Structure 1
């Protein structure tokens, strides 16, 4: 349904559409899906990808069976707003099934019912309905619009949709599986709102809603599922939240080259000075994407149209996704945010499943990847992560981008590979085939013929078996699919219950030229003769049941064993044997070592100690060495390494893993202990720099993973932990399986103890004359600038936030003043004026160029014809907070409005966090007016937080400075 810019402007011209909120931001599905794709690809290279799903589902009844789902992998998530309603933040997430195997066998004897390999071309999907979440960071004050697969509902998977009882089991199993995955694998960010600014247009709070695009809920619509995420933002200039939207709310993204918009309330446009709206600086996105403004309109409120575009330093690898066959090659290119090709400094290619070096393939310095040969691939399908690294201009700066590549043993996949059908299932048998490059598939019956074949489309066909009198107890029709290469599928018509059981009843893979031994586990008529033969397909079987594979391509043979006495067949049974040239890769069987150590720890690296502030990390090294198998080295696969985690000794539950975007355990979070998979900005408790070793195999049998432990437990508490991981065989392994010294670690929680003399607060005259005599500095020099530097003796400060206060309660919805003013005396004609500014360098931000003032103070400075005040780098160093005191003799008290004086009078309550992650709450103010020369000096006292029930709300109790 068309929705032009003209239509939207006409609708917005009828009156305000902000509903009392300061602003409304809208983000389109197309760009949000690009952000999801970027995060999905980044996680492939960081042990944070969704692992393969494995499970067994059983159903009972006349034909009780078990379905084994092996190695199901999911593609990049993408959003649909077909279920959006504006009354909530509901959306639908869709992921393709891109790899795996599905095999169904009879519960009684293991006889094959159906087997096929899953490929993305088959079109199977998983759908999850979920509510977008709001998560606010304690340190960076970033409100994140997130989704979490673990919190989804109404899962739907099309893999087994034609079998409702089994599909219900599958959905339940998937829900349980998602709930058990670490947050770093299940949480994705869609947008970020910076809540730490002090401008009137700085966001203070927001709510999230989802909205379908016009016509996007219609089943046949071209834009079906299209829509937007709406963020209703309360800014500093608002005194209250706005109203909630209803179904009549206008859609804010018109047709055309737009992927985002911002609607600013008409009453706030007076704060929109200059070309760059302050609020746009507060709308952030994962990675290095940004809201890029394209045009502005003012139908009533101010409308900004633009796009969520990558910055130049947003790098991507193209193609982002691809499928190739074993032995083939494909070239990859690194592009910057403007789409220009750049030369990568390094290329890497890693298979998530392989245990041998040859399984990873090879990639050269120009990005050309050569897949492992058919002899070396070792798996039906491999997921290979192709990564480019580009060295930046700063020391140690490296930009990384990844792509996902599926390498398949065969380019042709069929459904089924082999299957058995009882008489009531033989009316019409569907067939399907997919080629990796989407070319059509040709179907044909191989002799002997047992029915008719008809094509449906270029991928699908129908087989109708012969029916009527004289039908044999067991009939096999071989069907061949051809698309560049051939593949045979065996359709086994079981027309009567076999009396003889063979073991195994199904052999999943026999390499051409190899042998599979079949047997009769329960003897029927022990004295009678046995007659073994290949009923259908390639290969030979001797009279001991040894089947030898022969053939040119992948296929299925049906081997029968008949009980014969006096020339009469009394019973028979069969086994379905699949064969190909695929040589399955071997794997390790046992571990030589499995340890967990506290880096630079005590008691032989078994003990550690860390602050209980939730943000300082204790670095742990998990080391795994496998044992050789028949002289061969098999390290852990990347998939196995991704399952590695830390476990509580007491419970024994897995320690929670933080989402990738979280720096630590936030104030009010339920976790007392948590693990990250990468270091944050704070100094390690180990007293050393974070290790830079690879998170994968470091030798042919050794693997190392570094984990980072966080703590909010009570001071003095001690806990023991051990490590564990799940092997590809599904077996769990733990470091405590042996009694070595480093089987477990012991960590104690420490609380920072601070004395007032641990702080210093010193003055330096930087402008206006004087500097040698304390008294003369103020008596003889009346227009001056002093830097008051606040330091903590034992660590540098890395973040600073001026807190909004309601009485003695921290209020995130209250915008604080960040400047203070005072006069020398109480007279309205007093002109001896002092005011303050701030200098602080956040460790994640560029170095400050100018002194920061409150926006109200900026207006006063503008009236005084003062320009921005540069930071004097001679007297400021990162790691400290500087309170700048500026003295003048020409600002009369009566010239400032009463509300301005009320706004700029309160003291500043500041939260500083040091490089160890510890919080320092301080209150700064001018000296009491009763003290002489009070406007020349500051007082500072400590304040201590006490957490209330509501997360991230604190009551501050004041303590006098010692």
Structure 2
């Protein structure tokens, strides 16, 4: 069992979160409109952005794998629309968050021999937040809508944005300590369920692994299971069952090697004890080349100001970055990002270029060492001013304001406020950066009254509290202008004109602007961020019968300059306009390269392109309008658990592209300042007819644009699925090369080998390489699998052995090893053998180098013939396990799966141990699950 502490798991989550910022794989801003109980009144949730996921085990039970996950809310805006208008900015400092229950997942790779401990935000449940806790009447109503909307939103996100990896179990290998399966559990630390305890929420993830050396499952853990993380500087523990101790080395490195961690982290052992079972204690530490930008989070930089960032390695030593970059995911041009120099000094964009009162900017550093480039990122908030007085504006009835109204600074520093004009109540500083205003009796003498407050700081920005004592009957349009330019004008109008024949009186309730008798508002040129409150009153004989109000905030902030319309939106197979059709294999691992091209029209003579957030929404839709789901970046293809489906991936995998070939004529480039190109890879698992796809993306306004909105040549693509015929023995060749011991050098391909050939008779001690080749391609991966579904994983043999006769004094025998180079991995330097070969041979001296006759891309079985071991000296159980045929599963360059069996000739044949033969034990087809695995290793059953 492996045990990982919450502290280190949360650090891994933070590292992945920061890494995804650099890759544009983060959660985009969330926006929605929620209905209030009152008819026609809503709450606009705009640009809600989330920070690092954090695990808690306060409610964990060792009987399952559930945990609590919290996402802090780092920015956004809430606007309450209706009779009582309110608007304020949310920042990280306010402590808002989204909490959900998650069930940790096990994900088993089908090509790469890994099992991942995963956390999937899309599978979260029981969402809760406290954004509306101050809303006494609508609190539960709004929270239910928001929590439901956030759950649906996360469920629709691409896997690369919502899947996080907590650790990896390495299944590669065939010895007794190689894991074959695992289950997950979560456990609270002692006392961690008690609220307000120092360790509240602490706990661990437990990974129970079945190893090849022990095929039986242990008992399910229960509430009495001990907490295996000791006090002190320990964040991980690995415990090995006493029955398997004989297989472990003194250092236990082979145990640690089975545990892998994301983002360049490793288990570093600091203590090792064996009271009964063996326990290794240590930490999950970053490796040297794990880079980090500091400060990583929590930085707030006012518009136009600077902040210094620095790069550190895994040993916390400062490094000189090769390059720095800054990115505002919402910006459509370079001005909105700000700038950063070669030394990491960042300068925020000017106030008239930030686009919002609060925006997120991603800082990325690159570090080059040799041919490798390492990246690290940080996140910061840019505010339009040092002081952002909140709420921007707020309207309150007496029952809402009786206990006081809080005002605060959404910027970086705590600020106190003072009352402006005639005081309508009392103001006091209550701590935590907040001041509280309590209206007095004088505020109740008017239908509408306004209390202005000003920040006591160098930036004397203001807010205004509208105190409403009767229902506002006059609705104005617009009711709220959050970005009123200094000196600019806005025409205000009544929405539903009541008492149409009576006089209208427009007047300023607060603010330095002015309003004309016709309702045209003109902002001041004072250059201070402040709201203006304009009233429209229906007057008869000097008596006000009805009134309403509008709030207009003077600010230097302007809406982000953006594109308005598209010039071109195409989807092609490959990079050429000729790519209207394509073909992809049915294995789930071959990829068809697809390219999106989006070119915008000039807007007011300027060039703007899609923002990074808009680019992140680009995806494919099938002809029925269903979005094609995506794979995680660390998934090479479509696993069996997905069934027969289409999927997309941003990442190119190791296999040959379906449309790889001669260079196509490139798509016309278009104006670079208005054009983006995005490459996607399309996968298919299972048989299918042709399918038609089109592309789409979501703009910043929330509108979806599609490549087939207009009829043109590259509006859609059509993709056929290619399913190979069932493979036969004749699809492969098995050729012998004599590498040691004389005799024929090579047998002609396709010609049967004579087991009584003089190459064997005259040379009793030999070394032959038998080369298994695929006539129509190249093998990319290979793994040995069970010969029978009823076998245990520990029974998988990677060598076979045969004696010349069944007599105990027989000394002539043969045994095999193997060589294979997985695509993209280093060439083998030594022949590999089954772990039991030393018992078979009775010696540790069985290692052999790889000879020059080895060929990459082929599975090579080395057959060693000797005469120095009597059959009677061999353990019958060992020989029995090594007498079974070798069964190998291979993926070719196109991702297709092959299952081949290799064995000696039948024992009734003279010279049987001299010759290897191959066969195809099953014939998987793309319409059958067995196209992926002859044996479903997750379930341990034949498919």
Q: TM-score, normalised by structure 1?
A: 0.91
Partner residue in 2 for 1:141: 113
**How many angstroms does 1:389 deviate by?**
2.6
Aligned pair in 2 of structure 1 residues 501, 252: CA closer, same or farther (>3 Å)?
Answer: same
**How many angstroms does 1:274 deviate by?**
4.3
**Equivalent residues in 2 for 1:592-671 (5 A)?**
592-599=567-574, 604-649=578-623, 651-671=624-644
Would the aligned equivalents of 2:839 and 2:878 in 1 still touch at CA under 8 Å?
no
Of 275, 284, 294, the residue aligned with 1:318 is 294
1:737 and 2:714 correspond: no
1:40 and 2:17 correspond: yes
Of 130, 143, 149, the residue aligned with 1:158 is 130
Distance 1:266 1:889 in 2: 38
**How many angstroms does 1:115 deviate by?**
0.6
1:816 and 2:796 correspond: yes
Would the aligned equivalents of 1:668 and 1:952 in 2 still touch at CA under 8 Å?
no
Would the aligned equivalents of 2:424 and 2:443 in 1 still touch at CA under 8 Å?
no
Partner residue in 2 for 1:805: 787
Encode CA deviations 1:170-201: one digit per residue, 9 max, x unaligned: 11111111111122211111111122320101
Partner residue in 2 for 1:9: none
Name the SS of the counterpart of 1:656 in structure 2: coil
Aligned pair in 2 of structure 1 residues 713, 560: CA closer, same or farther (>3 Å)?
Answer: same
Partner residue in 2 for 1:4: none
Partner residue in 2 for 1:334: 311
Aligned pair in 2 of structure 1 residues 560, 65: CA closer, same or farther (>3 Å)?
Answer: same
**How many angstroms does 1:525 deviate by?**
4.4
**How many angstroms does 1:833 deviate by?**
1.8
**Equivalent residues in 2 for 1:156-195 (5 A)?**
156-162=128-134, 163-195=139-171
Partner residue in 1 for 2:690: 718
Aligned pair in 2 of structure 1 residues 720, 487: CA closer, same or farther (>3 Å)?
Answer: same
Distance 1:431 1:624 in 2: 46
Distance 2:94 2:670 in 1: 33
Deviates further, 47-56 or 86-95: 47-56
1:242 and 2:205 correspond: no
1:864 and 2:843 correspond: yes
Structure 1 residue ranges without an equivalent (≥5): 1-23, 957-962
Aligned pair in 2 of structure 1 residues 193, 896: CA closer, same or farther (>3 Å)?
Answer: same
**Equivalent residues in 2 for 1:840-859 (5 A)?**
840-859=820-839
**How many angstroms does 1:346 deviate by?**
2.7
Name the SS of the counterpart of 1:604 in structure 2: coil
Distance 2:931 2:736 in 1: 38
Partner residue in 1 for 2:403: 428
**Equivalent residues in 2 for 1:87-486 (5 A)?**
87-106=63-82, 111-162=83-134, 163-321=139-297, 322-394=299-371, 397-434=372-409, 436-437=411-412, 439-467=413-441, 471-482=445-456, 485-486=459-460
Distance 2:215 2:355 in 1: 64
Would the aligned equivalents of 1:331 and 1:367 in 2 still touch at CA under 8 Å?
yes
Deviates further, 40-49 or 135-144: 40-49
Partner residue in 2 for 1:834: 814
Aligned pair in 2 of structure 1 residues 645, 469: CA closer, same or farther (>3 Å)?
Answer: closer
Deviates further, 82-91 or 400-409: 400-409
Would the aligned equivalents of 1:435 and 1:441 in 2 still touch at CA under 8 Å?
no
Would the aligned equivalents of 1:811 and 1:953 in 2 still touch at CA under 8 Å?
no
Deviates further, 236-245 or 513-522: 513-522
Aligned pair in 2 of structure 1 residues 951, 402: CA closer, same or farther (>3 Å)?
Answer: farther
Would the aligned equivalents of 1:668 and 1:951 in 2 still touch at CA under 8 Å?
no
Encode CA deviations 1:450-493: one digit per residue, 9 max, x unaligned: 00012211412321101279611111111223455333221111
**Equivalent residues in 2 for 1:38-77 (5 A)?**
38-61=15-38, 65-77=41-53
1:540 and 2:514 correspond: yes
**How many angstroms does 1:119 deviate by?**
0.7
Partner residue in 1 for 2:904: 926
Would the aligned equivalents of 1:803 and 1:812 in 2 still touch at CA under 8 Å?
no
1:487 and 2:461 correspond: yes
Would the aligned equivalents of 2:268 and 2:283 in 1 still touch at CA under 8 Å?
yes
Would the aligned equivalents of 2:590 and 2:894 in 1 still touch at CA under 8 Å?
yes
Aligned pair in 2 of structure 1 residues 34, 712: CA closer, same or farther (>3 Å)?
Answer: same
Would the aligned equivalents of 2:416 and 2:435 in 1 still touch at CA under 8 Å?
no
**How many angstroms does 1:798 deviate by?**
1.7
**How many angstroms does 1:741 deviate by?**
0.4
Aligned pair in 2 of structure 1 residues 815, 591: CA closer, same or farther (>3 Å)?
Answer: farther
Aligned pair in 2 of structure 1 residues 484, 920: CA closer, same or farther (>3 Å)?
Answer: farther
Of 890, 906, 926, the residue aligned with 2:868 is 890
Partner residue in 1 for 2:941: none
Would the aligned equivalents of 2:838 and 2:844 in 1 still touch at CA under 8 Å?
no
Distance 1:524 1:667 in 2: 66
Distance 1:655 1:123 in 2: 36
**How many angstroms does 1:698 deviate by?**
8.2
Distance 1:55 1:698 in 2: 34
Deviates further, 114-123 or 786-795: 786-795
1:84 and 2:22 correspond: no
Q: CA RMSD in A?
A: 2.5
Distance 1:204 1:541 in 2: 76
Would the aligned equivalents of 1:668 and 1:950 in 2 still touch at CA under 8 Å?
no
**How many angstroms does 1:504 deviate by?**
1.5
Partner residue in 1 for 2:762: 780
**How many angstroms does 1:278 deviate by?**
2.2
Encode CA deviations 1:299-322: one digit per residue, 9 max, x unaligned: 211000111122223222222223
Aligned pair in 2 of structure 1 residues 306, 688: CA closer, same or farther (>3 Å)?
Answer: farther
Distance 1:122 1:456 in 2: 15
Name the SS of the counterpart of 2:131 in structure 1: helix
Aligned pair in 2 of structure 1 residues 415, 616: CA closer, same or farther (>3 Å)?
Answer: same
**How many angstroms does 1:675 deviate by?**
0.6
Encode CA deviations 1:495-515: one digit per residue, 9 max, x unaligned: 112343322222222022211
Would the aligned equivalents of 1:112 and 1:576 in 2 still touch at CA under 8 Å?
no
**How many angstroms does 1:527 deviate by?**
4.7
Structure 2 residue ranges without an equivalent (≥5): 748-756, 937-943
Name the SS of the counterpart of 2:832 in structure 1: coil
Would the aligned equivalents of 1:478 and 1:488 in 2 still touch at CA under 8 Å?
yes
Name the SS of the counterpart of 1:901 in structure 2: helix
Partner residue in 2 for 1:584: 559
Would the aligned equivalents of 1:320 and 1:402 in 2 still touch at CA under 8 Å?
yes
Distance 1:101 1:69 in 2: 6
Distance 1:915 1:365 in 2: 43
Distance 2:141 2:457 in 1: 35
Encode CA deviations 1:899-954: one digit per residue, 9 max, x unaligned: 11111111111001112111111001111112222212101012324798899764
Would the aligned equivalents of 2:587 and 2:685 in 1 still touch at CA under 8 Å?
yes
Encode CA deviations 1:327-357: one digit per residue, 9 max, x unaligned: 1222333333222333333322221000121
Aligned pair in 2 of structure 1 residues 733, 133: CA closer, same or farther (>3 Å)?
Answer: same
Distance 1:257 1:669 in 2: 41
Deviates further, 548-557 or 304-313: 548-557
Aligned pair in 2 of structure 1 residues 596, 498: CA closer, same or farther (>3 Å)?
Answer: same
**How many angstroms does 1:257 deviate by?**
1.7
Of 668, 673, 694, the residue aligned with 2:646 is 673
**How many angstroms does 1:519 deviate by?**
2.0
Name the SS of the counterpart of 1:855 in structure 2: coil
Aligned pair in 2 of structure 1 residues 320, 877: CA closer, same or farther (>3 Å)?
Answer: farther
**How many angstroms does 1:380 deviate by?**
2.1
